[in-house]
Amino acid sequence: MPPRLRKFIGTIFLIILVVVYALTAVTVASATLAHAPWYAQALYFLFSGVLWFVPAMVLIKWMAKED
């Protein structure tokens, strides 16, 4: 696969990943943490805010891979 096509596909998937992940994280938080204390909400959003880096880094490494 040409590098330019790989980067294009990876960019599209990365945008989809971020949007779907953010919507899912907010939906889960509003359904489960609506009446939780502020520190529980802060920990949840800190954890979920960092967690999306894992699949994003795998995707970025794939995009940067040389043939």
Cβ count near 10 (within 10 Å)? 19
Q: Long-range pairs for 1-6 at CB < 8 Å and ≥24 separation?
A: 1/67, 3/66, 3/67, 6/62, 6/63, 6/65
Domain ranges of the chain: 3-64
pLDDT in 10s for each residue of the chain, 67 residues: 888 999 999 999 999 999 999 999 999 999 999 999 999 999 999 999 999 999 999 999 999 988 7
Contact (CB, 8 A) for 9 and 55? no
**SS3 of 7, please?**
helix
Single pTM value for the model: 0.81
